[in-house]
Structure 1
Amino acid sequence: METSGYTTQIRDGLFDPSPRDSIFRVKAAVADELAALDDTARIRSTDFFNHTFAPDFVLTWPDKAERHVFLRMSYDLNALVEDVALIDSHDPFIFGLTPNEGTEKDSRIDGAVEESGAMFAEPDALERLIDRKKTDSTANMLSNAIAQGGRGTFIGNEAVEFASVVSRGFEAASDVKAAGTAEAISEIEERLGGPQAWRMNRVLQAVWEGSEGPLMLFPGKADLSGRLNIESLRYLVTYMRTDDPEFWKRVGRGLKMADLEHLDFAASRPNIERLIKANLDILSARAMVLVDDPLGVGEIDRESKFSWDIRERRLTFEAPGFFAFIGATKKDLESVRKTTANPVAVSTFVDRAEKAELAEVTLHSGSEVFILKHEDGAIDTHRLVGVSGQFDGPSEVTQAIATSSSGRVTVDLTAMSGTGQTRSKIRLADLLVTATPLLRDLPYEDTEALNHYLAYEVDHGGVTLDVPDDEESLVDDGVAGGAEPDDEDE
């Protein structure tokens, strides 16, 4: 059997004539291979080596999961059977340091680990799976699942064969083909422990449903919650490696903005941004607050002009010189930091509103207030300039209502906020594209880049946007500054 990489390092370490150096080299090579198998695991080496009761390594994960790894010196079936019976550890991971010298696997290996929920794996089998991760995005998720909850044996090509079945299962689910999906589900349930099997199957279900597969025909135990839950979503964005927008769209059809606030952007930003981009046509938001960021904190780490992040436990849209907090309801943003702003001169506002479709504008001049409305169309900004000239003193714009493709947005220039009007189902992208240019002076190229970054195509397949179920938001999310809502919003 040809070996390379980690397998060779382990074998060379075993033949080191110095016992101390041999142990050091073997454990270092194994630790490197475990890290390559799952880079999210924290790997702690113990002071033991090839001990019957004490583990050689302890793997832990951010979700508090833990697994003990036991190294074994030889491919001795009798010793292995005895060791499994003696190990006082839940779901032990037994790492065989020397490969099977025979041409076929002895079936007694499976029986030795089956009853305890243990996993026995050889370095070469895991190394082949690690190599597959370079070309198969599904293998990244699977390698984590195997590290945390693999069970049974992984010898020779068994790990990559498992990965092949699961990869074909994802393809089958995306094509709504029951046979290939069912084969993957069967392998997952046989090869993985309960929590890991459930998560992988839940992601398969999300692909199936995202491809408009009927839930009642899903060939596995279906999760009836109606959407990908937070645990499965975290798992997906952490371990999936694909930039295919159709995949992220299929799994994100039930996505809500609140789900995003539970994700680790620092660890999984590329996938999270792909998920958001692919689902801008269904993600909705009620309110935004724009905050100046003159120092550009975090801007240097961004690969593009715009990005998404989490600040103060709220989703934010990041841009050069500013960022915007996003809320599913207006009430969500009551506690976030705000930028103090002044009313905007009419001439400045007219420049900002060049491409806006304005339904209403509120002008202030001293103690005078004038509200200009257009019932059937957009306000002509030349008309706005003319009206402002009727004041005795200078006039300023404090508030405006602009129309987006998914509803009207109230823009409060004194509060630096944008709010979807009552009962409006404003898409997140529309809220930002409509309100941001009215709240802040943007260079032409930034405005164009903003529109491009937030562009989406509407899915006409009967998708219903997320509507806040907070009754209070339906009362006070209408028009800032105390103005009455339009009749159509009442």
Structure 2
Amino acid sequence: MPGSPLRDAIADALNQDSPQDVIDDVKSAVIAEIENLDPAVQIKKTDYFNHSFAPDLVLTWKTAARKEETRELYVRYSLGSSQAAGDVDILGKGGPIFFSLNSSNDDEEFAGSIREELMRAPRSLFTNAPAIDRITLDAETEEPQHRDSPAPPLLNLFRRNVVRGGRGLIVANVAERLERSTSTDVEEDFLYVDRFTEAVSGIFDEAATLRLRRAADLVKIALSGEVSILDRPDDGDDGVATISGKLDDTELRALLPFLLDRGQSIDDVRFWQHLGQMLTLAQLENMASTLSDHDLTPLAQANLPAWRAAKAVLSFNADALEEEGYQGPRWRMHGGSLCASAGAWNIHFASDLRRGLRSREDSTLPRWEKVLPSVQSFSVSKVELQGITRRISIAADAEAAVNVLGDVVSVQGNIDDTFFVRSVEVRPAGEESADVNLDFSTLMATGANVPVDYLTRASLGVLGHRYPVSPADMATLLGETQADAGT
């Protein structure tokens, strides 16, 4: 195969005059390729090379539960030499990786002879430079016409699981089965996903196999629109659905852009709700740059009551000034955060108060009588009024279900002063979230564990009262009928 950097690097290393240079260069070549497969893995060199029982490299990583796991890697000149040395019986109990520098035993005859041995060490992985070359080169040579194909996201996840969960025999013929087709035909896409699912069976541990099957099923739904796949039970005895659990950051980066683009025609909200339950708002923020060109509207609308945020900042939507530039109500990632756009406003959300969102510091405070109509549909727990000669705070007890609107109206009517509103606190009904503070000087809403849909209504409805969003646009933004949005 032309252009094989790992094999070229190994060939150059083996031609060095100094034995130590050979060892150092071979290890450096293998390390570079492992880092290409899984950048999150930490790699430690040992003082040994091609030793009978001491590893050449020790790989360490953190699981999704922050647990540290390790795996040893043994460099061998060929898989045949590893077989002859009895590596499986001597070293296989710990589930290591045996990495061959060449492909002299990369054939079906060798595979058949070693499978029986591998059954005695089911967690061990035998692989070689040509196989790893094929897997990594496919990532490096991705072309634009393939980016709407299911191959890139699935291959990406395959690569990320080789080091941590690979087992059995991964040689060049496995990589060949995973090579993408140049066809843009939808039927060919389905065939590829089936080929991928078949290829990964038996060459990954149980956890990695489940992750890869789950990824393939999500891709199938995006391709076909068949949301009923979500209800399909696992093949196991427990009957648990395969598409469940949380996606980690690596899985999200690989899958979400594809699912958003190819799944745009899916109007069954169950798919988007299910996908939204597999991720968090914080994860979206961590991969905001990856998603900046993607429309998040169907995903966001389906999960607004479930997603929680701590802060929202209102800012002017410059696109609304131009008819051609305004794209209507929508959800996207912008400026490193989830962003809703409707009418004259953008709202940027943050999952944590510590996440920096730029806000104004000097917005003009509105008069109370201008704010009153916009807060009447909310349960108001506190109001801070700024008069010409005095400052007044009216608040309900933290535990009391009291709306202080009547008190504010009474006080304002009995004191001869002109009152402006510094802030209002509103209380979500039946929610575990804290009261939401709406600050008119910064156009910022803050609270703990607040549903994103509530923050959206409060930000646009109260802080954005000067330029109200139409009921139709509010309904579109929230994914509701206009009648629902008005309740």
2:127 aligned partner:
121
Q: Name whichever of 194-203 and 82-91 sits farther off.
A: 82-91
> Does residue 91 of structure 2 align to residue 87 of structure 1?
yes
**Deviation digits for residues 5-60 of structure 1, max 9, x if unmatched?**
11111022112221111111111111111111221211111111001211111112
> Does residue 174 of structure 2 align to residue 150 of structure 1?
no
1:32 aligned partner:
32
Query: What does 1:23-62 correspond to in 2, within 5 Å?
Result: 23-62=23-62
Shift of 1:234: 3.8
Q: 1:103 to 1:53 in 2, by over 3 A?
A: closer
2:320 aligned partner:
none
Query: Is the Cα contact below 8 Å between 1:358 and 1:400 reproduced in 2?
Result: no
2:403 aligned partner:
none
How many Å separate the matches in 1 of 2:251 and 2:28?
Answer: 30
TM-score (structure 1 length as normaliser)? 0.61
How many Å separate the matches in 2 of 1:247 and 1:185?
Answer: 19
**Deviation digits for residues 123-180 of structure 1, max 9, x if unmatched?**
1211111111242222111001112121222222422414659x99xx78x99x7x87
1:245 aligned partner:
260
Q: 1:3 to 1:81 in 2, by over 3 A?
A: farther
Query: Is the Cα contact below 8 Å between 1:342 and 1:414 reproduced in 2?
Result: no
Q: For 1:99, what is the secondary structure of its paired residue?
A: coil
Query: What does 1:442-453 correspond to in 2, within 5 Å?
Result: none
Q: How many corresponding residue pairs?
A: 391
Identity %: 17
How many Å separate the matches in 1 of 2:3 and 2:114?
Answer: 21
How many Å separate the matches in 2 of 1:38 and 1:215?
Answer: 29
1:469 aligned partner:
none
Aligned AA (1:119): L
CA RMSD across the alignment:
5.5
Q: 1:458 to 1:204 in 2, by over 3 A?
A: farther
**Deviation digits for residues 429-465 of structure 1, max 9, x if unmatched?**
67337506844899x9xx99xxx9x9858499xxxx9
Query: What does 1:448-463 correspond to in 2, within 5 Å?
Result: 458=479
How many Å separate the matches in 1 of 2:284 and 2:221?
Answer: 25
Q: For 1:68, what is the secondary structure of its paired residue?
A: strand
Q: 1:395 to 1:43 in 2, by over 3 A?
A: same
Query: What does 1:91-490 correspond to in 2, within 5 Å?
Result: 91-100=95-104, 105-106=109-110, 107-117=112-122, 118-134=124-140, 135=142, 136-162=152-178, 164=180, 184-207=196-219, 211=225, 212-217=227-232, 220-221=235-236, 224=240, 228-230=244-246, 232-240=247-255, 242-243=257-258, 245-247=260-262, 252-255=272-275, 259-260=279-280, 263=283, 266=286, 268-270=287-289, 278-285=298-305, 290=311, 306-308=335-337, 325-326=350-351, 345-346=365-366, 359=376, 392-397=416-421, 399=424, 412-413=437-438, 417=445, 428=452, 431-432=455-456, 435=459, 438-439=462-463, 458=479
Q: For 1:346, what is the secondary structure of its paired residue?
A: coil
Q: For 2:86, what is the secondary structure of its paired residue?
A: helix
Query: Is the Cα contact below 8 Å between 1:308 and 1:316 reproduced in 2?
Result: no
Q: 1:35 to 1:257 in 2, by over 3 A?
A: same
How many Å separate the matches in 1 of 2:177 and 2:139?
Answer: 13
Unaligned residue ranges in structure 1 (runs of 5+): 294-302, 310-314, 328-332, 334-338, 371-387, 402-409, 421-425, 466-487
How many Å separate the matches in 1 of 2:20 and 2:240?
Answer: 55
Shift of 1:280: 1.0
How many Å separate the matches in 1 of 2:180 and 2:26?
Answer: 30
How many Å separate the matches in 2 of 1:412 and 1:242?
Answer: 34
Aligned AA (1:18): S
1:70 aligned partner:
74
Query: Is the Cα contact below 8 Å between 2:89 and 2:120 reproduced in 1?
Result: no
Q: 1:285 to 1:43 in 2, by over 3 A?
A: same
Q: 1:186 to 1:139 in 2, by over 3 A?
A: closer
Aligned AA (1:108): S
Shift of 1:208: 5.0
Query: Is the Cα contact below 8 Å between 1:120 and 1:154 reproduced in 2?
Result: yes
Q: 1:255 to 1:157 in 2, by over 3 A?
A: closer
How many Å separate the matches in 2 of 1:316 and 1:59?
Answer: 42
Unaligned residue ranges in structure 2 (runs of 5+): 143-151, 315-331, 342-346, 354-358, 395-411, 427-434
1:385 aligned partner:
none
Aligned AA (1:202): R
Q: 1:68 to 1:163 in 2, by over 3 A?
A: farther
Query: Is the Cα contact below 8 Å between 1:121 and 1:153 reproduced in 2?
Result: yes
Query: Is the Cα contact below 8 Å between 1:6 and 1:127 reproduced in 2?
Result: yes
Q: For 1:66, what is the secondary structure of its paired residue?
A: strand
Query: Is the Cα contact below 8 Å between 2:41 and 2:60 reproduced in 1?
Result: yes
How many Å separate the matches in 2 of 1:103 and 1:88?
Answer: 22
TM-score (structure 2 length as normaliser)? 0.61
